[in-house]
Amino acid sequence: MKVLSPRDFARVIGVSESSVKRWIDDGTIPASRTVGGHRRIEREEAIRFIRRTRSPVLRPELLGLEDLRALAGKTASAPSSELHDALVDGRDAEARGLILSLYLGGRGVAAIGDGPVREALDRIGRLWLDREDGVFIEHRAVDICIQALTQLRLTFEPPEEAPLAIGAAVSGDPYLLPSMIASTVLQEVGFQTMNLGPETPIATLRHALSTHEPRLCWLSVSAVDDPKARAREIRDLASWLATRGVSGVLGGRSVDRLDLGPDILERADTMAELAAFARGLLGAS
C-alpha cells in the first residue's frame, strides 16, 4: 500500500484517471515512475493531496484507511462529543475513523490532540464518579486513542535526514497519551522521534539523549509523585541540555506543581505551542 497507480487514486477521490495523470504531469501531485514508465503516487503524497484539497475519500480501503468506513459517510459536526460517545460505547473503528477524518479534513495532529481528544477524555475522566464501569471505559478509551494515533502516524513518514526529537513522561507519571501526542505532533512537523513513554527516569532519558544527540527534547508532566525530586532532576536536565545546545520543551497538566524557577526549558501548555516551537526550530536550521 506504499504506492498507488493513478487509476486507484482516481477511484479513491472520485475523479477520472486522466485528471490524476494531468495533475501528476503538471506537478500538482508529486509522483515517480516505474521502470516501465508508469506513474506511481506515494500513499503519503496521496494523503497530503486529499488534506490540501479537502477531497472526499470514497474508497478508503485503497489507501489502507478502512476505519473511515465505520463513519458510514458521516462528517464530524461536533467532533469532541462524537468522539466522546464513540469512546464511551467502545465503538473503536468509529473513533479511529473520526480522528482520521479530522486529519484528512485538514486538522493538524496538535489541533486534534488539544481539541477532541483532550475534551473527550476530560469528560470521560469524570465518569468514575457516578458509573461503576467508569474506570473500565476510561482505560478502553485511552487504548482506542492510542490505536488512532498510531494509525495517523502511519500516514506520514518524516525524511530520513530529518532532525531527531526525544521525549518522555517523567517517573511517577503513568500517562501515556500526552507524550505520544507530542511525538506524533513532532513527526507531523518533520522530526524523527523517539518516545520513551510514561514513567521514564531522567537518567534513562539522558542516556538516550547522549547516545542519539537529538535537536529537541520534550518532557511531559501529568502527575507528580515527588515534587522536590522531579524539580531537581528537571533543573539538572535543563542545564545539561543547554550545554549541549539541545532545545527542551516542557508541558503537561502538573508542571505547575513543580518549583522550577524561571527560564527552565521552553514551557508550553498545548500541543499547538509545541508544533509552533518545533516549526520555528526547523525554519531556523
Q: Which stretch binds ligand B12 (CB under 6 A): 45-53, 68-76, 187-195, 216-224?
A: 216-224
- The stretch near ligand B12 (CB under 6 A) out of 1-9, 12-20, 158-166, 170-178 is 170-178
From residue 39 to residue 58, the character string flagging contacts with ligand B12 as x (rule: CB under 6 A) and all else as - is --------------------
As given in the structure block, the three cell numbers for residue 72 are 458510514
* Residue number, 20 or 165, with CB nearest to ligand B12: 165
Choosing from 106, 174, 227, 280, the residue that interacts with ligand B12 (CB under 6 A) is 174
Interface residue with ligand B12 among 126, 207, 228, 279 (CB under 6 A) is: 126
Other C-beta atoms within 10 Å of 157: how many?
14
Q: What are the DSSP calls for 212-262, one per residue?
A: H--SEEEEE-S--S-HHHHHHHHHHHHHHHHHHT-EEEEE-TTGGGS---T
Q: Which is nearer to ligand B12, 155 or 220 (CB)?
A: 220
Residues constituting the chain? 285
* DSSP conformation class of 269: S
Show the DSSP H helices in the chain as ranges: 6-13, 17-25, 43-53, 79-89, 92-104, 109-112, 118-124, 134-153, 177-189, 202-212, 227-244, 271-284
Among 57, 62, 170, 182, binds ligand B12 (CB under 6 A): 182
Mention every residue, 6+ apart, whose C-beta is less than 8 A from residue 103: 51, 109, 112, 152, 155
**CB-closest chain residue to ligand B12:** 251
x/- map, 258-277, ligand B12, by CB under 6 A: ----------x-xx-xx---
Of 92, 114, 188, 233, the residue at the interface with ligand B12 (CB under 6 A) is 114
196 binds ligand B12 (CB under 6 A): no
The C-alpha cell that represents 192 in the structure block = 524523527
Residue 140 sits in the site that holds ligand B12 (CB under 6 A):
no
Helix (H/G/I), strand (E/B), else coil: 53: helix
Neighbours of 168 (CB within 10 A): 25
Binding of ligand B12 by 121 (CB under 6 A): yes
**Binding mask 219-258 vs ligand B12 (x if CB under 6 A, - otherwise)?**
-x-xx-------------------------x-xxx-----
Q: What distance separates the 2 farthest-apart alpha carbons in the chain? A: 65
Query: Least CB distance from residue 36 to ligand B12, whole Å?
Result: 47
Size of the site for ligand B12 (CB under 6 A): 31
Distance CA 32, CA 24 (A): 9
Residue (178 or 214) nearer to ligand B12, CB:
178
Are the beta carbons of 180 and 210 closer than 8 angstroms?
A: no
Which residues form the interface with ligand B12 (CB under 6 A)?
113-114, 117-118, 121-122, 124-126, 138, 142, 174-178, 181-182, 218, 220, 222-223, 249, 251-253, 268, 270-271, 273-274
